[in-house]
Amino acid sequence: MPHRSVSRAAVVALALGNTAVDAFWRLECPGSIGLARIDPLMDFDGLSGHVHALKGGSAFSAKSTADDLLKSKCTSCGVKQDKSAYWAPPLYFKGDDGTLTVVPEKPPFKAYYELNAGKTSDGKEQTIEAFPNGFQMIAGDNLRRNTTLSGPDPDTSGFKGPYTDKSNDEREQLAIGFNCMNYGFHGGPKKEEPTLYRHHLPEKSWIDTNCPDGIRLELQFPSCWNGEMDGGDGHKSHVAYPEWINGGDCPAGFDRRLPQLMFETIVATDQFVGKGGKYVLGNGDPT
């Protein structure tokens, strides 16, 4: 088993208002706006520090606001009324000769809006509120290159937990998934890993052997909220993870509840089997 580290590139959502109507709903984005060094939250009207894969409304740009996105004439996603924007670093294959190739996605990209209510820190039942227009947040850590989690890689699939002994920083690391895809179509048994099962990117040799259908990249966003529209320069201090990562009660100071976003992208690592090199995210993170 390869070493475990959980460096995380920042993944961003600039969400328009949505109404809670069921346990969850899933937005599929079969298309893409493209790849570009654009990030209107971290690098407004400038050049982003690294490339992002872009999804969503056609009005997305380096200086987009929620009002701008509402003016989008179309979207790369399946619900045409949703003009939100979603962006995250792509995965690259870096060959032994130093050549970088974007690992193709296996569409569609999926954004889940999960309606997992819980209780406030003083025990009151929560009501899930729609994202207010213009709400901004980032999940993940663009600069992290190794984990602070102790012990073996914790399995956070299937609402395991609660992680009441974990800091929000540790819960942020548990909210990442690099899960091996094996549908059983290649002569062996099906062995698909559940959501948020693996919190590090395995070594390429292990992926080649065990993941014939690619890797599913996942990120769970926080859902506990303090009522602020933004979280300062990092766009994160106004939100926190609940005790189960993808459900449960909220910590003190974050008693309001939002829909919980989760991003899911399957990448075609199977196209690089047997080739010498390694995988690296668009921000330079190989872990």
Q: What is the pLDDT along the chain (287 residues), one digit of tens a residue?
A: 222 222 233 344 455 544 433 488 899 999 999 999 999 988 999 999 899 999 999 999 999 988 999 999 999 999 999 898 999 999 999 999 999 999 999 999 999 999 988 999 899 999 999 988 878 888 877 767 676 765 446 666 655 667 777 787 888 888 988 999 999 887 777 887 888 888 888 899 999 999 999 999 999 999 999 999 887 777 889 999 998 888 899 999 999 999 999 999 999 999 999 999 999 998 776 66
Q: Which residues contact 106 (CB under 8 A, 6 or more apart)?
A: 214, 266, 267, 268
**Helix-, strand-, coil-residue percentages of the chain, each rounded to 5:** 10, 25, 65
pLDDT value at position 176?
A: 87
Place of tokens 């809670």: 20
> What's CA 160's distance to the chain center, in Å?
19
Q: Among 148, 199, 172, which residue's Cα sits nearest to residue 2?
A: 199
3-state secondary structure of 210: helix
Contact (CB, 8 A) for 216 and 183: no
- Predicted pLDDT at 18: 44
Instruction: Say what the pLDDT of residue 8 is.
Output: 31
Q: Which helix (H) or strand (E) holds 215?
A: strand 215-220
* pLDDT at residue 159 in the model: 54
pLDDT at 149: 66
Nearest to 85 by CA among 100, 99, 98, 71: 71
pLDDT at position 11, please?
Answer: 41
**Structure tokens given for 54:** 């872009």
